[in-house]
Structures are given as structure tokens and as C-alpha cells.
Structure 1
Amino acid sequence: MKNQRWLLVFLFALSIQVAHSQKYKDARLSVHERTNDLLGRMTLEEKIGQMLCPLGWEMYQKKGADVSHSPKFERFVQERHIGMLWATYRADPWTKKTIETGLNPALAAKAGNALQRYIMENTRLGIPIFLAEEAPHGHMAIGTTVFPSGIGMAATWSAPTIEATGQIISKEIRLQGGHIGYGPVLDLTRDPRWSRVEETFGEDPVLSATLGAAMVRGTGKGDLTQPYSVISTLKHFLAYGIPEGGHNGNTTIIGPRDLHENFLPPFEAAIKAGALSVMTSYNSIDGVPCTANGYLLNDVLRNHWAFRGYVVSDLGSIEGLKGSHYVAETMEDAAIMATKAGVDSDLGGEAYRNLVSAVKNGRIAESLIDTAVARLLRLKFEMGLFENPYVDPEKARGNTRTSNHIAHARKVAQQSVVLLKNNNLLPLNKDVKKVAVIGPNADNRYNMLGDYTAPQEPGNIKTVLHGVRSKLKGATVEYVKGCAIRDTLNTDIDKAVAAARRADVAIVVVGGSSARDFKTQYIETGAAVASSESISDMESGEGFDRATLGLLGKQMSLLQAIKATGIPMVVIYIQGRPLNMNWAAENADALLTAWYPGQEGGNAIADVLFGDYNPAGRLPISVPRHVGQIPVYYNKKNPKGHDYVELPAAPLYSFGYGMSYSQFDYSNLLVSKKDRFTFEVSFLIKNTGAFDGDEVVQLYMRDEYASTVQPIKQLKHFNRLFLKKGEARTIKFTITEHDLSIINADMERVVEPGSFSVMIGASSDDIRLDTKISVQ
């Protein structure tokens, strides 16, 4: 016993001595001290290894209930000294990881532990590895909660809802051993032909900024000392969502003022909320690829905004400087360009290996490498990974996709449903005897989910058919698919018509799909390839850009055939982009869009259809009448466009639009000036309808005369609030100096004296109250 005590004392003293000699291992020291100490001990190769982020799903091997690191991981650690992995837990057709071959939450935690254990115990310095995971609308891993895609979350117009969503996503990532979540996607999009509209928060900078900041607050506000805080990676920097021709990754035609007025503010708001990572985009702006744009990454991001996190390339975008943009002659040139521009981490993990020779040949200073590596190491120290690199698999097993998480997914889906038309058909009576549920998206699990989604157990996803049947236990609910999204050969429209004729009401679910399958071909970045050889439902999602916006396949024929029966018809669009709705707007008895509503989408849609939830979703992006109108976003700059020969200039449905089962009255607009640049706007809103429900009140402004051309109107504030029938409430907004400011001809943000219109309404084209304020 005495010898054992002596041994313990000796080991304790030895540990103190080691910690003292290796300051970076001493948790009592500051992050700054520990980072500098560790950086000073690293070889050039070890430093550059920290900047590499290879693909992660090949780095583990699974045998039953056991998971260990793979030989490839061992080789990458020893030869490349890697400091980060991407998408270790990802499962989808591209990675060829299925429910059988991939990782459930407990196994994912074991895999993360195995990777950390090997790197901590078998490397010279024992630097823990970062695991970065895709998380745009839930952690893209088996067994996690799937929320509506970004455009659906934006349709909630609810910052509290999105913040709560972020809390769940970050918790599920951290429980499994992940540290970095790729998302939110803050690209403003003005072109629905673009394949990734579904990932965004829409067309408006204020809505995107508000919801993006809310998501980041939910993921931990950048306080990495919290147990479930993740490093949020904002995507994609910058102006990626308006590519020329709608082609994903194509060049962007945009001026510097538009960048600063619209495209930068959402990123700035999210960074102020605590985001600690930014991903570059594939496009170029005015001839400069965004992965080599030092003005954006150094001048704006770091010098102007004081961003203290790290910048990561999009997958293969450094290689793209040579192979796509042709601005670098060699891969070493590309690596040097990206490093000098401020890119700290190479997603893909190949291009930056050339930095070793670049430094040794004097082509780039090692101090630039030190700066980049220090940014990464600081975050590892802040997160406490050196002291606590492992997680508990049992906690991962029991605390992902819980009943509370599923309930919240249903709530988000409910709030995201946008009612576009209702000829008093909705809500449906639950006493209805016969219902026909028809259409390619009526009972297709994966078409509910959107891109960046892992394989799902069959019972986890609730389709519209499931939701309707859950509401009507005693009724006859007949389902016929009718047709597919894209396939024009295999149809059963006649059967759908027969089912409709037997029903009291037909619910027809059409739209699009981002559901990947094992027949679809993929390029190295994971983007899908549209080809005649891989016909599936997929017509949206990364790589699936559209030239038109009409319903594909035989969907229009299906709608027209059901309409011809004379049976009351509800049309539901499940979609990743605003598709053409002209026919449905004119012919359906009720029309709504649920975007990609996630795993609880079917239940949420049924809640709306049968009046258990009063819809209040609002469009975060305008719905065009025709592809020839594009772009047709609401906050275009003066002058206002005139009508075309063939059709109006206005969209079919405008930004901010959405109906309710109730009605809301706006009155008593008052404005009081608090100081030179601050005004309080108040008004009364009353639920005058027969249903309790939410209303989304929106405040728009217009600078009447300014030194640079301004938008016709611009959203400044909004609020989603619940009112019982008959209830009235006074709403207040505060107009600030920032709301009044413009970017003048000298690219300075200033407030100019003059008159401003203040407009309160239920959408951008439904203004109920208006007044003017004057700034002296």
C-alpha cells in the first residue's frame, strides 16, 4: 500500500513536470499561451497537416458493434499529419454509406473516439482532430433529426424557432463527437433556376441575416466552452446564389455596392452572433475566384469585421483555381494564392500539401502558415479538446432524435407551410368520408427531405399520405401515385382519376425532388450530374440546375385530369425551388407549398389541411410567373419595372406573402422620434377572424431621395406573433440609424437627410399602413 501511494505521488509529480515543460498541455494557461507554445514545437509538415481536411467516411472501419480507425486514417495521420476531417459520419449514395454500412449515433461516437484515440496516442504532439459535419437542416448522419430545408426554415419567419433548431442540431453533432457544423447557408438567391435554392434563406438580406444569426446563437454563440456548442461554418462566401444563367458555381455578375448592401450583411450578422468559420464559394466575382479573394477574406472579414475564426475552402475549390478558373498554372500556385488570400483550411486535403515545397522554395513565408494554423489550434484549445477529446456512446444513443426533437421538427414544418390560395375549402372537415391522396410526392419518403440528407429508417419519415390517414381513422383514404416527378413512361393517371371520382376531395401532391439515389452519377465535389442515363425524381439539389420552372414529367397532365373530374382539389407543392404555379393558382380550390418539410412534414401538412394548425408561413422568395421574368426579387432598385408584352412584371406571389384561416386588421399607426436617427413605430393588430393563429407583420422602408439608387422597398423588421380570435395587440418596431443608412458613391455607409416612407403590411405587396418620417 505504501509503495502504491509513493507511485501515485511520483506519477502526479511527473505529470506536473511534463505539463510545465509542455505548456500547451497545461489547461491552467491561456489559450494564447498554449497556442504559441504548441506552434513553436511543430515542424513545417505538422503545421501544414493541421490545414488539411480530407474526406472522413473512409477513415473508420466497422465490424458489427465495433468501430476502429482504418489503415487509410493511420496512413494520413502519419504521412500528412492531418488536423481535421470532413463528413466522417456522412451517409448517402455519394459516400456509398447506407444504414447497414454507415454509423448510427452510438457507433458514430465510437468511431470519433477511435480516431481521437489513435491520433492522441500515436503522434508526437497529440493534437486532437476536428471532425466537421454537414448540418444545413440537421446533422447529415444516420439517426439524427431531419428538419425542413433552409428555404422551408426561412418560410417560418421566426427567429426563436430557428434558434431552437440550432440548439438541437449542435447537440446531436457534439453527442456523436463532431465539432464543426457546416451551415447555415446564407447565400441570397434571386434565380430559382439555380439548383441550391432549397439550402438558402431566400432573397432578402434582413430575413437571411436575422435567421442566420438565430441559427448561430442556437449552435452556441461561438462560446466553445459550452458542452454542445459547435463551430458554425457559414456558406458560401460570397454571392454564390446568383450565378450567371443559374449554373451552379458559375461566375457572378455583381457590383461592389450590391455586395455590401445585400450579400455581406447576412454573414456579418451571423459572425457577430458567434460564427467561427466561413466557407469560400466556387464562383468568381469580377474575375476573381472567391477562394482567392483577399479583399473579401482579409480586408472585409478579418480587418473590418474582426472575424476571429477560420476560413475553409469549399471541396476542391483550391484545385479549381487551376482546373476551373484557370488563374493558377500549377497546384502549388493555387495553394499559394488561396493561402495569401486568407484560406486557412483545405477541404479535400490535397491542394495544400504543395505548401511544404512552396515554403521551402521561398515562394511563401512560413509566417503565413503560422497565422493560419494558429487560428485552427486556438479553437481546439477553446473547445477543450486537449483535455476532453472523447464522448460517451450511450449518451449519443439516447439523446439524438428524441421525442422532443421530433416534436420540434413538426413545429418547424408547421410554421413553414405557406397557404397561397383558399376558396374556403380549407380547413377540411374531419367528418369527410372519402379522400383521394394523389401525386408523386404524396407518399415518397425521400422527396420530403431535400438534399444533404442521410438514409432514413422507413418509419421515421411521415409523408402526406401518412399524415392524412392519421387524421381520418374512420374514412376511406385511397392513394394513387399517378405519375413520377420526371419519368414520362410509367404513369397511372387513369387510376388517379378513378380514385378522385370516388372521393369527396382530392389532395394532389406535386413538385420536385432532391432525393439522391444509387443510380445518380456524382462528380468529385458530391454535386449530382443530370443525364439521360440517370433518370430519377431528382430535379433539384446541388448540380441540378433548371432551364425552365414548369412541373416535369406528366405532373401537369395529372393535375388537369383531376381538375376535369370536378372534385374539389387541394394542390400541394413539395419543392426545393419556387416552381411554376400559374395553373394551380388559377384552377386549384386550395394551393399551398411546404417546400421540403423534413421528417415530420406529412404530419405538419395534415395538421394544416384539417385545421389543427392555422398556417402562417410566408414566402422567403418571390414566385415568378415565367422563367423569362428572372430575376424578379421584390427589392429591386428604382425605377420600377414595366409590364412585358405577354405578362405582368410582378411575380405570381410576392416576397412575404402567405394566407391564414383567420383575418387580421391593422390600425392606429403611430411614429415617435426618439433621437436624431431613432424612431419608434407602433400599431395595433387584431385577429378579426374565427381562428386563433399567427400573423407575420412586416415593416418596409423606402428612402425617397438618395445619392445612390435605392430599392423600391426594403424589409427592415418583422415579427411572427400569435393572436387568439378577437385578440388585439400593440406592436412596436424601432427604426435605427442602420435602417436609415445607405452606401454612398464613395462606398461609405452614411445616413443622408431626407424623407423616408414607412410601410407596415402582411407582405411586400400587401401594405396596410404607411407614413413618412423625416431625418434632418
Structure 2
Amino acid sequence: MKTISLFLIGLLLLTGASAAVSAEKKEQTDSRIKELISKMTLEEKLGQMSQFDPGQLGGPENAKQAIKDGKVGSILNLVGASAVNDLQKVAVEESRLGIPLIIARDVIHGYQTIMPIPLGLAASWNAEVAEDAMAVAAAEAASEGIHWTFAPMIDVSRDPRWGRIAESCGEDTYLTSVMAKAMVKGFQGDDLSNPKTIAACAKHFVGYGAAEGGRDYNTTLIPEVQLRNDYLPPFKAAADAGVATFMSAFNDLNGVPTSGNEFTLKQILRQEWGYNGMVVSDWASIAEMIPHGYAANKKEAAERALTAGVDMEMASDCYVGNVQALLDEGKIDMATIDRYVTNILRLKFELGLFERPYTDEALAEKTILTEKHKEIAQQAASESFVLLQNKNEILPLSNEISSVAVIGPLADSPHDQMGTWVFDGKKENSVTPLTALTEKLGDAKVNFAKGLKISRTKSTEGFAEAVEAAEKSDVVLLFLGEESILSGEAHSLANLNLQGRQTELLEAVKATGRPVVLVIMAGRQLTIERELKLADAVLYTWHPGTMGGPAIADMLFGETVPSGKLPVTFPKTVGQIPIYYNHKNTGRPADYEQWTDINKIPAEATQHSLGNTSHYLDAGFEPLLPFGFGLSYSSFAYSNLELSSNTMGAEGAIEVSVDLKNTGKYEAAEVVQLYIRDRFGSVTRPVKQLKGYKKITLKPGETQKVSIVLKAKDLEFFNGKDYVVEAGDFDVWMGTNSKEGLHAEFSIN
């Protein structure tokens, strides 16, 4: 006990000393910032508040002159340590005040070692995987002089027509919040001044993922209750995790563009949350308030953005050209400008740029695409894969198989498997499924035919070769989906079926009588009801990144076991969108007893409400696949759902537990998911909400008690006036997805 006490005393002294050092460092930094600002001209202050691509400045030499004159505080889209150091030297050694540049880049899901798209990372339901993946991205980007990334994108996204759903963590607020914290930690580590970390950016603040009709940049109409309950929590989680920056979005939110929105940027972010980091606009989003119809000109746009609280303007020049006039007219004051410059300079100090402005130009070679990084990428890909179907347990395949047909436009497409928002990944570094399967099985066992040149090809001229490959093989591995260019920013789709003649290619190889394993690479959920019926097994791999091929090959042959779960609901048809698990109920909720199938309506039927429920006559009311769904090569049994208590107070907690048994033949991981329903509230509540989960690995026959603590605080919601925990009755489920689970009840009193 004495040893322990001495240890604790030492720890407390160390903690106190550390806090004192931290406070002293902050005081010194604040003092240096005040001194710098006292020396700065307005032009230099506006320079710090301006971010440009070198091309916008007229090329390298003009950029150098602008930097020397103090007109630029940040550069984006500059690649390579040598090029960065070249411009940084001008800022540090030739400008009047020697303030270093902050170099930014879209490093969304990897720099050169490309990870699965963020939607795929969310499908892992593994925060550690997401954190490790972003740490790799940060280290590689930092080795080439990048200090700041515009990620993570944590827009809750419920419309797969929206191309940027690929960058999101899906439809659920809780899962997105968990991933937001993990990604911020991955990028930033514990210390931003560490040369292997970069500043993260929580984007897009806020509501961008609810773009009307899934059309990018579109209007978003989100009532405040829904905004606060569904769309804001991931951003609050990022802020609490210490995210260095926020980005205001492109969209008009309830009539006010978010880059000029005082309610979200000033009231919520700054005042309610107490956030003191830096806010940057999205690309030209301040100037875009003019076509939005919210500002008459650049001067008015600058006034609205400055009043709302945007510290740095990206790409456009509203600030530079108009702040002097706004000051002269008294529409803004110098204290506001100084506050914004302070936020920017503080970030530069936190990144250690004043002490360490240059990047070691030999670092990249030792950092990028290391074996360790590729291992992390392969692990991330493997955990992101979701097994949607496995008829007759066709998977995993035996290594003793005599031959396989590898068919499809995405079987050997190194560029497309990297996915959207990949600026620096190189296709020559991607290992494709064809390459990995050939290495695993040998040339003699692999019969390859593309079938279609690309996913959008409408010609069937390659079908004959594909059918021939299938006929001389024991099994068909068919790689379909969408090219990377079909998802991402400004790549919305009205039709989510497989493009081109892909489904017909599936039908052609299926007609050979060979079993067909369908592997789908995509940036979003697709409408694949027809394909599920045709294929024997379906593995959804999203766009899996650099090491997607080996991860797929290992999983097909049982060296790894699927553990991914869907972070989004899969619709049967586009006409069901929006469809998501945590919807509200109607006064006439649909059920199978009252659902009327369009094919059962008699001719000339009397016009009436046909069952009085909320459903589509032709598509029903349920999705193709529910949120949280995902199969395994093994099987799991849930039993003995227990609650530590059936009641709790408004500040209490209960423990919810279940026995999970691996009843199959393989060691495997299962994501145990906890959902609740608040039956009655001062505003209507969703039919289900994810409130916790654990990913558990079990050996065959092993049973483990899985417990999740549910706090009353977890049940808090915004009711239009306040955040409240209301007394009442609740349902709770623990199970394998949002549709299936053991059920119990509890109450808050």
C-alpha cells in the first residue's frame, strides 16, 4: 500500500507539474501572438486569413512574392517537401514578420497508402481501425510537408444518391460520433507538434449531408429539433475530441448559407460549445453566398461570413478586397479581425511551425508505403467488408479448388479500387484482386476475363470470353460495382442500379450453372435486390484502397472472416429513399398484416386506403437490408438478456448484458449492437436508436457475457426548447443488427 501511495503521490505531482508547464506554455504563446498582432498591418492580417492554391496566385514566382508581402497565410494543394520548403523559406526568412505558412491538403482516407473509403471504415464498426488508418494518413502526409487535412467528413448521410456519402460514416448519429473522435485522434495524436501528426478539420458544418434530393450543394431544410438531435452530435464529439479546425459548408441551411450562418457558427459552435479553434470556409463558399441569393456582392458576403465567425477564407477573395471598407463603415471592428488572426496563429504555434517550419526532405522515403502501413491498410479493408449473402455456405472457398474464373470490370482496376478523393495515391501501388488471387492460387488456377471494359460499358462483346472462363472453372468470382469517379463530390446519381450491362453479365455467367460469388466495389449502397437473387454469395467491399486485393483474396479463402456491418440501410429501389432505420413512426405505422401488395389489388377495386398504413404499394415498407446487417462465416447465438435494473433516475445508469456464443466452426468477430426506443416524449422519438456496441471475437463454442452501460445522459434529446432526459418507458434491444435482437424494458423515473 505504501508503494502504491507513493506512486500516486508521484503521479499527482507529475500531473500538476505538467499542467503548470502547459499553462506556462499557453501564456507564452498568447504573449507571442499578441506581440505579432500588434506589429501587423491590416494587409498582413488579411493575408493570414486567406488561403489559396498556388495556381490562383499566378504560379510559383507570383506566389512567392505574395507570401513575401504577407498576403497569404495558408497554401493548399502544394505537394512535396521540397516544394513546401521552398515557399516556407520565403514566409519565414523573407517576409516582414516571418510567420510560417500552414500547408493544407485533402487527405481524406490515406495519402499514398490508401485506406478504405470512410463509409467502408465505418462498416468496420471498429474505432481503433479508423484511428490507425488516419494515423498512417497523417504520418505520410506530414512527411511531405502537409500540416492540415480537410477531414474527417462527419455529415450524417441518409441519401445514397448523394455522391459524398462515400466520404461519410453513414446514416447514424452515434456511429458517426464514435468514428469522428477516432479519426480526429488518428490525425492529431496527442500532440499536434509531433512531426507525424497533422491538424484535422470537422466538416461540413452543418447539414450538408441532407442535401435535398441527394443533389450536391443543394438546399437543406432541417428543423432545429432534428438538427440538434441528429446532425450536430458528431461535430460536438469532434470538438470534444480537440479537433483543431472546423469547416463551414456549401449548403443553404433553412434559408441561410452555412458560411454566413450566425446560428450555427456563432451561437452553437462558439457560444454553446465554447469552441476556440479555427474555422475555415469551404472552397469559395463565402463568394458562393452571392449565387445563393444571400449576399448581393463580395463585400456583403465578406460581412456575413465575418459576422458569423469564419476565420479563414478558402480560395475566394471576399475578405482581402472588402475588409478595409467594412471597417471604415463600422460594419465590423478590428477586434473581430484580431480575434480571427489569433485563432489562426494559435494553430500555427500548436503545430510547432514557428519552431520547426521546414520538413525533412528525406522523411517521405522512409515513411510512405511502408510494410507496416500496408498491413494497417489491409486490416482496415478486411474489417470493412460486409458479407451480405452466403447460400449453402459457398464461402469460404477451399484452397484445394482446381480453378476459379475471375471476371468483371473491377477485378483488375487499380485506380478505381482506391475510391473517391484520392489525390496522391498511385494506381501502380494498388494490389488488385486479380493480382492477389493469382499470387495465392497460381496462374494455372485463374481464368480471367473482364467481361466489360469498365462498369458503365454497354457493349456485350466481352461476354463470350467471360462465359468461356466461367465454364472451365469450378466457381466464378465476379467483380462488379461502380468506378471511383461515380461517387464523391458533385457525383450524385438518380439511378443506383449497377451501371452499364453489369447485371446482364451476372446473368450470363450464372447461366453456366457455376456457383457465383459476387464481389461489389462501390462508394455507396446500391440497389442490388436483383443481383442478390442471382448470386450465391455477395461480399460488399466498398472501395477498399491500396491493399483491397489481398484483403479480398484472404477473405474469399477463409484466411480472414467477415465482421463488417452496414453503416447504412440498403433500399430495394431508389423510390424508397430516404429510408433509414431510426425514422419516426407515423400515426398509421406499416406492418405485414396490413400491407397491401400492388399485385393483390383487384381490377376496378373500390377506392379506399387499402390498409391504412404508411407503405409503398410496389416496394412495401422495409429495406432490402437493414442498418447494422452483416453475416459471418461463423454463427452466433444471443441469450440471457439482462438489465442490472429496470429503473433508473435522471442521472443514473443501468448495465445491459447478453450472452454471446459462437455456434459456428470459425473464430470470428461479432458486433453486438444496443438499441433503445423512447416510447413517448415531449416531441416524437425515433423507432430505434443505436446507443452502444462492442465488437467481440470468439473461438468456436466460446461464450462471453457482453455488457454495455447505458446512462440516462445517453437518452438526452433536444425537445425544441432544452436538452432533456425525460421520465418514461423505454425499450432496449441487444442483437446482431437494427432489425433483430433480444428485447427488454426499463423506465426512467
- TM-score, normalised by the number of residues in structure 2: 0.90
Deviates more, 1:182-191 or 1:355-364: 355-364
Quick check: 2:661–2:703 contact (8 Å CA) kept in 1?
yes
* Paired position in structure 2 for 1:130: 102
Is it true that 1:425 corresponds to 2:400 in the alignment? no
Deviation at 1:71, TM superposition (A): 0.2
CA deviations on 1:343-385 (whole Å, 9 max, x unpaired) are 1111104222122333244332122111111100111122221
Letter in 2 for 1:770: H
Q: How does 1:281-320 map to 2 (within 5 A)?
A: 281-320=249-288
Quick check: 1:222–1:276 contact (8 Å CA) kept in 2?
no
Secondary structure, aligned partner of 2:152? strand
Q: What is the RMSD computed on CA atoms of the aligned residues?
A: 1.8
Structure 1 residues 238 and 28 mapped into 2: Cα distance closer, same or farther (>3 Å)? Answer: closer
* Paired position in structure 1 for 2:311: 344
Quick check: 1:223–1:274 contact (8 Å CA) kept in 2?
no
Deviates more, 1:735-744 or 1:594-603: 735-744
Quick check: 1:435–1:475 contact (8 Å CA) kept in 2?
no
Q: How does 1:227-266 map to 2 (within 5 A)?
A: 227-266=195-234
C-alpha separation in 2, matches of 1:174 and 1:507: 39
C-alpha separation in 2, matches of 1:480 and 1:416: 27
Structure 1 residues 456 and 330 mapped into 2: Cα distance closer, same or farther (>3 Å)? Answer: closer
Quick check: 1:665–1:685 contact (8 Å CA) kept in 2?
yes
* Paired position in structure 2 for 1:492: 462
* Paired position in structure 1 for 2:625: 653
CA deviations on 1:709-757 (whole Å, 9 max, x unpaired) are 00000000011121111221111111112222222242x1111111111
C-alpha separation in 2, matches of 1:684 and 1:457: 46
Deviation at 1:405, TM superposition (A): 0.5
Deviation at 1:396, TM superposition (A): 2.1
Letter in 2 for 1:112: V
Structure 1 residues 632 and 289 mapped into 2: Cα distance closer, same or farther (>3 Å)? Answer: same
C-alpha separation in 1, matches of 2:415 and 2:526: 19
* Paired position in structure 2 for 1:566: 513
* Paired position in structure 2 for 1:375: 343
Quick check: 2:413–2:432 contact (8 Å CA) kept in 1?
yes
Secondary structure, aligned partner of 1:185? coil
Percent of pairs with identical residues:
38
C-alpha separation in 2, matches of 1:222 and 1:410: 25
Deviation at 1:276, TM superposition (A): 1.4
Is it true that 1:501 corresponds to 2:501 in the alignment? no
C-alpha separation in 2, matches of 1:734 and 1:493: 54
Secondary structure, aligned partner of 1:132? strand
Quick check: 1:276–1:307 contact (8 Å CA) kept in 2?
no
Secondary structure, aligned partner of 1:766? coil
Letter in 2 for 1:123: S
C-alpha separation in 2, matches of 1:560 and 1:182: 42
C-alpha separation in 2, matches of 1:669 and 1:57: 61
C-alpha separation in 1, matches of 2:123 and 2:61: 45
Deviation at 1:502, TM superposition (A): 1.2
Deviation at 1:470, TM superposition (A): 2.2
Is it true that 1:633 corresponds to 2:580 in the alignment? yes
C-alpha separation in 2, matches of 1:35 and 1:455: 34
C-alpha separation in 2, matches of 1:49 and 1:234: 23
Quick check: 2:69–2:95 contact (8 Å CA) kept in 1?
no
Structure 1 residues 44 and 760 mapped into 2: Cα distance closer, same or farther (>3 Å)? Answer: same
* Paired position in structure 2 for 1:725: 700
* Paired position in structure 2 for 1:111: 83
C-alpha separation in 1, matches of 2:380 and 2:57: 34
C-alpha separation in 1, matches of 2:534 and 2:56: 51
* Paired position in structure 2 for 1:773: 746
* Paired position in structure 2 for 1:454: 423
Secondary structure, aligned partner of 2:209? coil
Quick check: 2:415–2:427 contact (8 Å CA) kept in 1?
no
Structure 1 residues 288 and 508 mapped into 2: Cα distance closer, same or farther (>3 Å)? Answer: same
Secondary structure, aligned partner of 1:33? helix
Deviation at 1:228, TM superposition (A): 2.5
C-alpha separation in 1, matches of 2:353 and 2:423: 27
Q: How does 1:489-638 map to 2 (within 5 A)?
A: 489=459, 491-514=461-484, 538-638=485-585
* Paired position in structure 2 for 1:713: 688
C-alpha separation in 1, matches of 2:536 and 2:289: 52
C-alpha separation in 2, matches of 1:564 and 1:758: 46
Structure 1 residues 509 and 333 mapped into 2: Cα distance closer, same or farther (>3 Å)? Answer: same
Number of residue-to-residue matches in the alignment:
695
CA deviations on 1:596-620 (whole Å, 9 max, x unpaired) are 0000011111111110100011000
Quick check: 1:318–1:346 contact (8 Å CA) kept in 2?
yes
Structure 1 residues 225 and 85 mapped into 2: Cα distance closer, same or farther (>3 Å)? Answer: same
C-alpha separation in 1, matches of 2:153 and 2:520: 23
Secondary structure, aligned partner of 1:681? strand
Structure 1 residues 607 and 159 mapped into 2: Cα distance closer, same or farther (>3 Å)? Answer: same
CA deviations on 1:442-475 (whole Å, 9 max, x unpaired) are 1111110111113554541011111221221274
Deviates more, 1:484-493 or 1:543-552: 484-493
C-alpha separation in 1, matches of 2:455 and 2:618: 28
* Paired position in structure 2 for 1:400: 368
Quick check: 1:571–1:591 contact (8 Å CA) kept in 2?
yes
Letter in 2 for 1:599: T
Q: How does 1:148-187 map to 2 (within 5 A)?
A: 148-187=116-155
* Paired position in structure 2 for 1:752: 726
* Paired position in structure 2 for 1:482: 451
C-alpha separation in 1, matches of 2:640 and 2:460: 58
* Paired position in structure 2 for 1:100: none
Deviation at 1:28, TM superposition (A): 9.7
Letter in 2 for 1:422: N
Is it true that 1:334 corresponds to 2:309 in the alignment? no
Deviates more, 1:616-625 or 1:48-57: 48-57
Secondary structure, aligned partner of 2:119? helix
Show structure 2 runs of 5+ residues with no match: 1-23, 591-613
Quick check: 1:148–1:449 contact (8 Å CA) kept in 2?
yes
C-alpha separation in 1, matches of 2:460 and 2:89: 52
Quick check: 2:506–2:534 contact (8 Å CA) kept in 1?
no
Show structure 1 runs of 5+ residues with no match: 1-25, 62-69, 90-107, 515-537
Structure 1 residues 458 and 596 mapped into 2: Cα distance closer, same or farther (>3 Å)? Answer: closer
Secondary structure, aligned partner of 2:287? helix
Structure 1 residues 325 and 458 mapped into 2: Cα distance closer, same or farther (>3 Å)? Answer: closer
* Paired position in structure 1 for 2:93: 121
Quick check: 1:170–1:230 contact (8 Å CA) kept in 2?
yes
* Paired position in structure 2 for 1:685: 660
C-alpha separation in 2, matches of 1:196 and 1:456: 19
Deviates more, 1:456-465 or 1:182-191: 456-465
- TM-score, normalised by the number of residues in structure 1: 0.87
Secondary structure, aligned partner of 2:163? coil
* Paired position in structure 2 for 1:695: 670
Letter in 1 for 2:663: T
C-alpha separation in 2, matches of 1:311 and 1:254: 22
Secondary structure, aligned partner of 1:451? coil
C-alpha separation in 1, matches of 2:434 and 2:317: 46
C-alpha separation in 2, matches of 1:221 and 1:300: 26
Secondary structure, aligned partner of 1:219? helix
* Paired position in structure 2 for 1:88: 78
In the alignment, which of 639, 659, 671 is matched to residue 667 of structure 1? 639
Quick check: 1:209–1:266 contact (8 Å CA) kept in 2?
yes
Deviation at 1:497, TM superposition (A): 1.1
C-alpha separation in 2, matches of 1:349 and 1:193: 29
C-alpha separation in 2, matches of 1:378 and 1:117: 20
Secondary structure, aligned partner of 1:183? coil
C-alpha separation in 1, matches of 2:55 and 2:734: 50
Secondary structure, aligned partner of 1:81? coil
* Paired position in structure 2 for 1:75: 65
* Paired position in structure 1 for 2:45: 47
* Paired position in structure 1 for 2:439: 470
